[in-house]
Amino acid sequence: MEVVYNIVLVDDHTLFRNGLKGLLEHYCGCRVVAEASDGEEFLEILPRLQVDVVLLDIDMPRMNGFEAAAKALAKYPDLKIITLSMHGDEDYYFKMVSIGVKGFLLKSSDIDEVSTAIQTVVKGGSYFSQELLRTLVGSLKSAPSSEFVHESLSQRELEILLLICKGLSNQEIADTLFISKRTVDKHRANILDKTNCKNTANLVVYAIKHALVEI
């Protein structure tokens, strides 16, 4: 039986919402269960919804995506939010990452990338626009490099870090490496501790900065 993901669209442009809704429902096996035109409306309807992923715009009237995401995640910490933005600016990215969103997509992304992002996030991973990551690669590699903490990572931890950067969930990593999920959980905690990263998104940036992955 085909899995159908429940999606909430939050964007102040009706035409954009209608277009994205049609693509999601026709090509991605998704069901758009609700729409909102700003952060306030989104927070008002959220308690009544059964949702797998929220696609959330940043620039909106009354309450923008930054504030809406922060308030929603404070109340529902397991909520999976993917940010939608016209901007590939690093500041937008880092601010949303610090709030705790699971993904960041540029509105210029094609529907295949949107579909991949939704599936990755639903499975427990994180997904960030490939175009944005390429921009980050350039800016982070040109920045002064900090001490190479990754030298303290074991070969297994480096393996797991690379799979995390590919968007795999802990269970998928366990299946790939033929180890238990509990072992992956422990390695992941050690990696976060050794790299001083708070979450998966920070780990992706860390891996890019130290040239551990290629985008």
Give residue-wise pLDDT tens across range 95-122. Answer: 787 788 988 888 888 899 999 999 989 9
64-68, 90-94, 157-161, 204-208: lowest mean pLDDT where?
A: 90-94
Query: What percent of the chain is helix, strand and coil (3-state, nearest 5)?
Result: 55, 15, 30
Q: Are residues 115 and 34 in the same domain?
A: yes
The reported pLDDT for the residue numbered 1 is: 39
Number of domains within the chain: 2
Tokens of 156: 């297994």
Amino acid making up residue 3: V
The reported pLDDT for the residue numbered 213 is: 64
Q: Are residues 148 and 48 in the same domain?
A: no
The reported pLDDT for the residue numbered 9 is: 96
Q: Are residues 98 and 151 in the same domain?
A: no
Is it the case that residue 214 has pLDDT exceeding 70?
Answer: no
pLDDT bucket at 83, cuts 50 / 70 / 90: very high
184 by Cβ neighbours in 10 Å (0-12 / 13-18 / 19+) ranks as: buried
Q: Are residues 113 and 171 in the same domain?
A: no
pLDDT bucket at 126, cuts 50 / 70 / 90: confident
- Full domain range(s) for residue 167: 144-209
Summarize the confidence of residues 58-76 as an average pLDDT: 92
Q: Are residues 23 and 105 in the same domain?
A: yes
170 by Cβ neighbours in 10 Å (0-12 / 13-18 / 19+) ranks as: buried
Q: Does a structural domain hold residue 32? A: yes
Q: Are residues 150 and 103 in the same domain?
A: no
Q: Are residues 95 and 150 in the same domain?
A: no
Q: How far is CA 175 from the centre of its chain?
A: 22
Q: Are residues 76 and 148 in the same domain?
A: no
Q: Given the structure tokens 């715009």, which residue do they identify?
A: 57
Summarize the confidence of residues 197-202 as an average pLDDT: 75
Q: Are residues 125 and 182 in the same domain?
A: no
Please identify, among 103, 129, 155, the residue that sits at the C-terminal boundary of a domain.
129
**pTM for this prediction:** 0.71
Is it the case that residue 204 has pLDDT exceeding 50?
Answer: yes
33 by Cβ neighbours in 10 Å (0-12 / 13-18 / 19+) ranks as: middle
